[in-house]
Amino acid sequence: MRDASINLRALPEQRDLIDHAAHLLGKNRSDFMLEAACERAKTVVLDQVFFSLDDDKFRQFTAQLDAPQGSNSGLERLLAVKAPWSTDKA
């Protein structure tokens, strides 16, 4: 059972377009909009955690990941700073 409410305002033309598309799929407006919004949300989330590379680009990518790290003075300075909550005074 659905118990969370999502409200939004739309232009009449937007509502009519959504209603027409929902009708073509045999869905009501709420089901159509919820399905479309969830599909888009999944795409956005996956775009943040998944990417695809061809074989050559994948080899280049893994070679960079496997390569030894160069010196990074900024990172070294950052890691040398003691946390304010640290009890270690040394």
pLDDT for 51 equals 81
Q: Which residue has the higher pLDDT, 48 or 11?
A: 11
pLDDT for 24 equals 98
**Distance, CA of 6 to CA of 33 (rounded, Å):** 10
Condensed to tens digits (0 to 9), the pLDDT of residues 39-88 reads: 999 999 988 888 889 999 999 999 999 999 889 999 999 999 998 888 76
pTM: 0.56
Condensed to tens digits (0 to 9), the pLDDT of residues 80-89 reads: 999 888 876 6
Instruction: Show Cβ contacts of residue 58 under 8 Å, excluding neighbours closer than 6 positions.
Output: none
pLDDT for 35 equals 97
